[in-house]
């Protein structure tokens, strides 16, 4: 089995949400079998900034689901969207 890099766009509830607190929660709460590759910010519009999380999991059924559920449960997160999935060589 190989590894998969998943890219997730995380939209906050409002422009006033503390993005650093969300990023810190993600860093400290990654599920077993998942590790962070990169966390960046992406300006959207009108002061709203999304968090772009890239994380690596083992290739297998439901590989990104624990991470998706963990991020959805963080206070201040309005929605998530998986924007990319690719196998690492």
Q: What is the pLDDT of residues 7-52, one digit of tens each?
A: 999 999 999 999 999 999 999 999 998 999 999 999 999 889 999 9
**Structure pTM?**
0.91
Tokens standing for residue 47: 């002061």
Q: What is the pLDDT of residues 55-77, one digit of tens each?
A: 999 887 777 899 999 999 999 99
Per-residue pLDDT, 89: 78
Relative orientation angle of helices 19-29 and 65-72, to the nearest 10 degrees: 140
Q: Output phi, psi for 57, to 5 deg.
A: -135, 165
Per-residue pLDDT, 51: 97
Please give the distance of CA 75 from its chain centroid, rounded to a whole number: 14
Q: Output phi, psi for 48, to 5 deg.
A: -80, 130
Per-residue DSSP letter, 24: H
Domain spans in the chain, listed from the N-terminal domain onward: 3-88
Per-residue pLDDT, 71: 97
Cα–Cα distance list, 81 to 1, 46, 55 (Å): 25, 20, 13
Tokens standing for residue 72: 């959805």
* Fold observed for domain 3-88: Alpha-Beta Plaits (3.30.70)
């Amino acid at each position: 089995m190989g590894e998969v890099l998943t890219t997730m766009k995380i939209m906050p509830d409002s422009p006033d949400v503390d993005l650093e607190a969300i990023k810190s929660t993600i860093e400290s709460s990654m599920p077993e079998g998942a590790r962070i590759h990169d966390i960046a910010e992406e300006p959207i519009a009108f002061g709203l900034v999304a968090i772009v999380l890239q994380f690596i999991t083992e290739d297998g059924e439901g590989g990104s689901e624990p991470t998706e559920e963990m991020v959805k449960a963080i206070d201040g997160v309005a929605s998530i969207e998986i924007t990319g999935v690719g196998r690492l060589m």
